[in-house]
Structure 1
């Protein structure tokens, strides 16, 4: 591999332990820079200290405008996308992608564009499928696509998605990934698939991202983040949705985000009905002596609002079909609230 080799790693649920294990296997002489995105949202992170303590290669939270140096681990900070431009790290508070900021896809895309065949992308444990589209970009620009073996991952959805949509070069257990990276950076390993059970992507010879110029039919789904109209497009074999603000979603994450917004709106309606019931009851008590007929109407309005609140609450609490979450049995909300 060339001296300009760069490694981009993405992880979500279970990622702290996986990253700690991976960096512990690297030698002190490891020369390639490593850029890591873990889904931490806007929360404070101690990942730099954890990884520095785990292995011989120093880890630090990245700074905007910082020049990428060899033998250093850079971590995306809270609430910022991390990308690379001309060998420099840029931190952006751009629109969330796949409901995450930092997200994995923006880093992978930028690494693919700036480093081409000298890029190595690695998808580790995590829920849903952030990182798949970005790994596809790395692969189609001649880079090396790597994923943790799904059976070895604490949360297999992200590596499973990567294997389903990207023609992986390597798909290995976590314990073997550090050794693989050492060999790749040292130029000792050819770019050959070593998967025990190779999974071909749904399409071969995939061309560049296809963004249709118009809709085949009216599409009325709106963005869960901003309410803007969404366009559907294909990225290789991956179906994605994006709004004009820049929020993007894979189909699976779109379904999850849409469900969360629907549930939020319905629970808000329950709250408003409860508040209306209480307001009408207070008005009934206030007008009881001076206007008994009006008071009776207030009482009826209160009972009506309360009755509908109960019915709506029962509807919200019924089981809903959530195919996007069926692989783990956990709700999408739980997945994002407990990424590690």
Structure 2
């Protein structure tokens, strides 16, 4: 076995990939505070963030613990004891010992995306990869944790009771993919022990599906030099981002023809958003129909035509009342941005 403390310069012996979403800033500051100062792995951090907003995340993490944290730079070498932090509107990926920032297709409507980071680290570092799933909503990180596990790495999650938004770590735990769980502030202690463990280097069979998905994530914006039909059969669903057909990947996960990726939970939520938007359009249309019909009734001569327009206005008003009550009773969708 190679001793991690004898690696030349600051070349990392392995990588810790960290993913978070809603509630993630607090979790990441606690996580960073608990890391040891002589940590021999590189750390890569993805937080779901708005594409157009500047991010202060690297500065926040840098102030929180003993390790240096900086916004990731495309092509820079991975450094042991350093935290490479994702930037808005770019996937943060690892390619061997380099950082990759890509404009590849969104995953679950996010770029950067947790699953994309975890998948790339699994392929580049195998048994020397560790994933950490922190606070967030939906099931981001589940597929990525599976990729880490499948390639011989170790998976860690924040204790859901310690997370402001427990869904992300809870989904990973429920899937049976997590080796260790702890409060965010205690994860550093677990990692300090994991990097000292004996690692059995082993030859891994190629996973062509994982490699294809990783290549899609590393692609340029609007790149189409791939065939998602190789990932699985047609699902019968359409992509919320581009309305293209979705292929089924590994049972209940999906990719469209231009590469947008969706988990089942994220796709279901996207449909909720679409339905909600359609209902508001219907509400506006019914209001306009009722007003127009009443104006036409008032302008028509008394008789059959005036009565017809008045009845149409009454019908639209009744539908407007029912739909308004439906919208008022509908649950509010939870936010999913870690910053902003």
Greater relative contact order, per chain length (Cα 8 Å cut-off, separation 6+)? 2
Q: What is the aligned partner in structure 1 of residue 321 from structure 2?
A: 310
Unaligned runs of 5+ in 2: 5-11, 201-206, 211-229
Q: What is the aligned partner in structure 1 of residue 247 from structure 2?
A: 231
Distance verdict in 2 for CA 1:92–1:268, change over 3 Å: farther
Q: Distance in 2 between matches of 1:338 and 1:148?
A: 16
Q: Distance in 2 between matches of 1:338 and 1:109?
A: 21
The Cα offsets for residues 268-292 of structure 1, whole Å up to 9 and x where unpaired, read as 111122233334445556x46xx66
Question: What pairs with 1:237-256 in structure 2 (closer than 5 Å)?
Answer: 239-256=252-269
Distance verdict in 2 for CA 1:338–1:77, change over 3 Å: closer
* 8 Å Cα contact 1:135-1:166 kept in structure 2: no
Q: Distance in 1 between matches of 2:98 and 2:248?
A: 32
- Per the TM alignment, residue 297 of structure 1 is displaced from its structure 2 partner at its CA by 5.3
Q: What is the aligned partner in structure 2 of residue 264 from structure 1?
A: 277
Q: Aligned residue pairs: how many?
A: 304
Q: What is the aligned partner in structure 1 of residue 286 from structure 2?
A: 273
Q: Mean Cα displacement is larger for which, 140-149 or 291-300?
A: 291-300
Q: Distance in 2 between matches of 1:86 and 1:77?
A: 20
Distance verdict in 2 for CA 1:214–1:25, change over 3 Å: closer
Q: Distance in 2 between matches of 1:243 and 1:317?
A: 34
Distance verdict in 2 for CA 1:208–1:170, change over 3 Å: farther
Unaligned runs of 5+ in 1: 193-206, 320-329
Distance verdict in 2 for CA 1:95–1:213, change over 3 Å: closer
The Cα offsets for residues 109-143 of structure 1, whole Å up to 9 and x where unpaired, read as 11111121221111112221101101111111112
Q: Does residue 1:170 correspond to 2:183, yes or no? A: no
Q: What is the aligned partner in structure 1 of residue 7 from structure 2?
A: none
* 8 Å Cα contact 2:139-2:168 kept in structure 1: yes
Q: Does residue 1:145 correspond to 2:158, yes or no? A: no
- Per the TM alignment, residue 313 of structure 1 is displaced from its structure 2 partner at its CA by 2.4
Q: What is the aligned partner in structure 2 of residue 200 from structure 1?
A: none
Q: Distance in 1 between matches of 2:104 and 2:194?
A: 32
Q: Distance in 2 between matches of 1:337 and 1:171?
A: 23
- Per the TM alignment, residue 302 of structure 1 is displaced from its structure 2 partner at its CA by 3.9
Q: Distance in 2 between matches of 1:30 and 1:120?
A: 13
Q: Distance in 1 between matches of 2:338 and 2:16?
A: 26
Q: Distance in 1 between matches of 2:285 and 2:71?
A: 43
Q: Distance in 2 between matches of 1:174 and 1:132?
A: 18
Q: Mean Cα displacement is larger for which, 309-318 or 263-272?
A: 309-318
* 8 Å Cα contact 1:223-1:247 kept in structure 2: yes
Q: Distance in 2 between matches of 1:266 and 1:21?
A: 41
Q: Does residue 1:91 correspond to 2:101, yes or no? A: yes
* 8 Å Cα contact 1:132-1:166 kept in structure 2: no
Q: Distance in 2 between matches of 1:5 and 1:338?
A: 26
* 8 Å Cα contact 2:127-2:199 kept in structure 1: no
* 8 Å Cα contact 2:118-2:144 kept in structure 1: yes
Superposition CA RMSD, Å = 2.9
Q: What is the aligned partner in structure 2 of residue 322 from structure 1?
A: none
Helix, strand or coil at the partner of 1:117: helix
The Cα offsets for residues 44-94 of structure 1, whole Å up to 9 and x where unpaired, read as 322112111111212122222333223221111122221122322222233
